[in-house]
Amino acid sequence: MKIAVIGLGNAGLPLASVIADSGFEVIGVDIDDERCEKINRGINPIPEETGLDELIGRYGGKRLVATPRYEDARGCESFIVIVPLLIDEGHNPDFRILEEAFRSVGKILKKDNLVVLETTVPPNTTESMIQSWLEEESGLQLGDFYLAHSPERIMTGYSISRLREFPKIVGGVDEESGRLAFDLYRKFIPNLKKVSSSRVAEFVKIIEGSYRDVNVALANELFKIAEELEIDFHEAREYANHDYCHIHLPSTGVGGHCIPVYPWFLINEMEKREWFSFAELQRTSRKINDEMVGYWAERIVLKALDVDKPLGRVKICLKGITYRDGVKGIYHSRNLALARLLARKGLQVGVYDELFTQGEIESLSLRFMDPDDADLVFDCFDLRFSV
Binding residues for a copy of itself (CB under 8 A):
123-124, 166-167, 169, 193, 195-196, 199-200, 203-205, 207-208, 210-212, 214-215, 217-218, 221-222, 224-226, 228-232, 235-237, 239-240, 242, 244-247, 266, 269-270, 273, 275, 278-282, 284-285, 288
Rounded CA-CA distance 16/42 in Å is 13
Please state the closest distance from residue 162 (CB atom) to a copy of itself, in A: 11
Rounded CA-CA distance 140/240 in Å is 56
Please list the active-site residues: 205, 258
DSSP string, 104-173: HHHHH--TT-EEEE-S---TTTIIIIIHHHHHHHH---BTTBEEEE------TTSHHHHHHHS-EEEEES
Beta carbon nearer to a copy of itself, 111 or 242: 242
Amino acid residing at 333: S
Please state the closest distance from residue 291 (CB atom) to a copy of itself, in A: 9
Please state the closest distance from residue 280 (CB atom) to a copy of itself, in A: 6
Residue 192 three-state SS: strand
Beta carbon nearer to a copy of itself, 90 or 244: 244
Rounded CA-CA distance 254/210 in Å is 12
Angle at 78 between CA 74 and CA 80, to 5 degrees: 100
Beta carbon nearer to a copy of itself, 41 or 287: 287
Q: How far is CA 219 from CA 46, 94, 225, 253, 333, in A?
A: 31, 30, 10, 10, 18
Beta carbon nearer to a copy of itself, 294 or 326: 294
Please state the closest distance from residue 169 (CB atom) to a copy of itself, in A: 5
DSSP lists the bridge partners of residue 4 as 27, 79
Please state the closest distance from residue 385 (CB atom) to a copy of itself, in A: 21
Q: How far is CA 339 from CA 96, 189, 289, in A?
A: 31, 41, 16
Beta carbon nearer to a copy of itself, 88 or 230: 230
Radius of gyration of the chain (CA): 23
Decide if 92 contacts 122 (C-beta within 8 A): no
Beta carbon nearer to a copy of itself, 205 or 332: 205
Rounded CA-CA distance 103/43 in Å is 30
Please state the closest distance from residue 186 (CB atom) to a copy of itself, in A: 15
DSSP annotation of 189:
-
